Structure 1
Amino acid sequence: MVRFPSTLLLGAQLILSASSHSIPNLLPRSEQDFPYPALGSDEAADYATTGYFINHFAISTRNLTASLDFYSRILGFRKMFTLYDSKTYSITYLAHAHGGKNGTGYQTALELNREKNNAQGLLEIYNLDIPTMNIESSSQHPNTFAHIGLVVPDAQKTQERLETMPDVKIVKKYGEKFTQLTDDLVIGPAVGLPPAVVAQLSLEERVAIVEGLGGSVDPLIFIVDPDGNFIEIQGEEGANLVQG
């Protein structure tokens, strides 16, 4: 059996129902039913890019205090540092410990900072402390940003924990089925289906998208941070795209 890494986020989950396709059956798009995975090439990346990796993702916030509380208390990030560039402008870095994912890899703040440019999955937060900060998130004004993806050991237990936190807005619960694609689908912008896009789709195509996703969206959780940015949460078991 061919298994893809459990760290694959929405892309892997959304094609879960395609796992019944075997590698030899990956036919041209026009000759087989949807959905199906188009496997990547085994060709190595340009040697000149050796050592390249995604280090961090950056967002802006209207309220730094609220964002720090959310990402640390709710999602387990730790503050690496805040750089106060001026009286109003600051840059903050957050991280999960990189020493291990089973609770044995605790790192001090100094160790986190020492590994800053060798780490992955960091979150950078920009804040401008002014009276009026009218920045709209992708849930309020859809754009090319969809969501931040988080992997957890057990999605169902995470759901239960989130439900004990009244200040956490859950927009799609674990086990909640995706059965209809409408213009006002709350998680639409989080999965590349904002209202303006969905409005252009025929009923037939909407049905096809829902059927293609199948039950692969059911185990996903979507929440929003204090600014309205989508956070997707899925279990670490990931999904099998193909069998062979």
Structure 2
Amino acid sequence: MAAASLISQRLYSSFLRFSWRSASIPSIPNSFTAPTQRLDRFRPFCSSMAASSSEPKESPSNNPGLQTQLDDATKGYFLQQTMFRVKDPKVSLDFYSRVLGMSLLKRLDFPEMKFSLYFLGYENTSLAPSNPTERTVWTFGQKATLELTHNWGTENDPEFKGYHNGNSEPRGFGHIGLTVDDTYKACERFERLGVEFVKKPDDGKMKGIAFIKDPDGYWIEIFDLNRIGNVAADAA
């Protein structure tokens, strides 16, 4: 405190020495403190934030790095698949077809490398070509498919401990999401079928959405279009 007072006195003395005013100024008390500096230099930043807040959250001004002038070369791009490695295709295929209602769009086997790929989705398989090669092309032309990768032998290997699902340390991948007609009715059915839950619709703060696990422990979010708007209203 003494050092601060001494510095203040010296600053004040300098001010008196170079002041162009001749009027007498009362002596400075020991408790003198420098006036708080105004933060005018931050005003442009605050003003720009206020301006951008009136724009949609998805606008480039609210999302640094987001580009809107997209390269014409990307016009044909779309998200086609998400891949899960699975221990036992028999168990996984049963879950995704019987429990979640997916169809097997295409299976690819690679004997030399000893693994198989199973592409699942909600497409009408009656529209798939009968020619195997053409069916592969058709499958890869569908959006949002699930690719299950099976490395042969894991289903019978007692030493195999399973795959990391991304939701334990170190965290990375989180989940896939599935739209259903009614979250609560879907979850009632899942319960009857013995599906493992991470979160039921009324658990936690976010009511109306659920998370289940597939046989390998991967998380699947369950939601419906009638409720998801309200669930995310505060974040919109």
TM-score, normalised by the number of residues in structure 2: 0.61
Maintained 8 Å contact 1:80/1:109? no
Letter of the structure 1 residue corresponding to residue 82 of structure 2: F
Taking structure 1 as reference, are residues 225 and 109 closer, same or farther at Cα in structure 2, changes over 3 Å only? farther
TM-align CA RMSD? 3.1
Taking structure 1 as reference, are residues 121 and 46 closer, same or farther at Cα in structure 2, changes over 3 Å only? same
Deviates more, 1:49-58 or 1:131-140: 131-140
- Structure 2 Cα separation of the partners of residues 162 and 39 of structure 1: 35
Letter of the structure 1 residue corresponding to residue 49 of structure 2: P
Alignment correspondent of 1:170: 197
Greater helix share, structure number: 2
* Unpaired runs of at least 5, structure 1: 1-26, 98-105, 179-216
Q: Please state whether the residue corresponding to 1:163 is helix, strand or coil.
A: helix
Alignment of structure 1 residues 36-185 onto 2, 5 Å:
38-41=57-60, 43-86=68-111, 88-97=114-123, 106-108=124-126, 110-111=128-129, 115-130=138-153, 131=157, 132-134=159-161, 135-166=163-194, 168-178=195-205
Taking structure 1 as reference, are residues 80 and 141 closer, same or farther at Cα in structure 2, changes over 3 Å only? farther
Number of aligned residue pairs: give it: 166
Find the structure with the greater CA-based Rg. 2
Q: Please state whether the residue corresponding to 2:140 is helix, strand or coil.
A: helix
Maintained 8 Å contact 1:138/1:228? no
Taking structure 1 as reference, are residues 160 and 109 closer, same or farther at Cα in structure 2, changes over 3 Å only? same
Match for residue 230 of structure 1 among 202, 219, 229: 219
TM-score, normalised by the number of residues in structure 1: 0.59
Alignment correspondent of 2:207: 218
Maintained 8 Å contact 1:80/1:93? yes
| 1:128 positional shift | 1.2
* Unpaired runs of at least 5, structure 2: 1-47, 61-66, 130-134
Maintained 8 Å contact 1:177/1:218? yes
Deviant stretches of 4+, over 6 Å: none
| 1:109 positional shift | 6.7
| 1:115 positional shift | 2.9
Aligned residues with identical type, % of pairs:
28
- Structure 1 Cα separation of the partners of residues 127 and 165 of structure 2: 30
Taking structure 1 as reference, are residues 109 and 90 closer, same or farther at Cα in structure 2, changes over 3 Å only? farther
| 1:118 positional shift | 2.2
